[in-house]
A = this chain, B = another copy of it.
């Protein structure tokens, strides 16, 4: 029984051109080979597959329904090969074609998606997987090799990972438009006396820097709502309370939302985030590219 051999893509490619061209002569011209080459390739392919692909009617080649279906299958395969080709290009250029990213929620709805878009714009060959998780889990994922790079808030401690600071800035105060504080040019911790606060629900509850700051300054707050960082601006916009958060996440979320005023906040609460990756990634050419994209991107953020 003729085993369906697919030794040569060439025969498939010739068939594809032939099918598209409609005649062997035309296909030959397109391919830059002779008509006899096409004719031979076809008859050989037919023999190989055990399929009659073209009827020879009145000295013309007429595609059979089988040829039509095979053509579609081949189109699919060519697409797959194209993907492989793209992967190879990414592999050449960046040393990898697969980039698994883990990031904290504060960066996962704006900054990292934009970074991913920028990366893909330069090379469609990248196959990217992107997960959002807590800073601690980001470290674990990168350490264990389940992710290639991670974005975390600094400082972090990890013996195994390289840590690269990308940005250090200060937290801003988010105030609903119409709120008494909204007309100020800056907000001080003292202004938050008796204010209702919206804060991020971090895993370590006592670690919220704003609450700690309030405590050390003897400020009594009016109450607090903990929420996922992705929902905080929405809560602020709806007048639930005021919040203090890093300007990156704030900018990401406020780009489409009105009704929130962003003000400087004192005393300064440091916010620092960066990139982590395993030791064995230190030479990956992709890193340099990611850094460049990130630098470019950060310019678009205030501060």
Contacts and interface: CB of A to CB of B under 8 A. Distances in A.
A74 B84 contact: yes
Interface residues of A, number: 32
Contacts of A76: 80, 84
Give the one of A10, A49, A87, A98 with max B CB within 10 A. Answer: A87
A92 B6 contact: no
Among A69, A74, A95, the most chain B Cβ lie within 10 Å of the Cβ of A69
Interface string A64-94: 0110011011101100110111011101100
How many copies of the polypeptide does the oligomer hold? 2
A9 interface: yes
A201 to B, nearest CB: 38
Given A66-B91, A96-B69, A81 B4 contact: no
A76 B96 CA distance: 16
A4 B51 contact: no
A4 B70 CA distance: 25
Nearest to A98: B69
B73 A87 contact: yes
A8 interface: yes
A97 interface: yes
Contact of A9 (B7, B72, B89): B7
A155 interface: no
Most chain B CB inside 10 Å of its own CB: which residue of A10, A70, A84, A91: A91
Contacts of A7: 9-10
Contacts of A84: 6, 73-74, 76-77
A65 B95 contact: yes
B51 A92 contact: yes
Contacts of A65: 95-96
The 4 lowest CB-CB distance pairs between A and B, nearest first, are: A80-B80, A73-B87, A4-B88, A4-B85
Given A6-B81, A72-B98, 8 more contacts: A4-B85, A6-B84, A49-B88, A70-B88, A73-B84, A73-B87, A74-B84, A76-B84
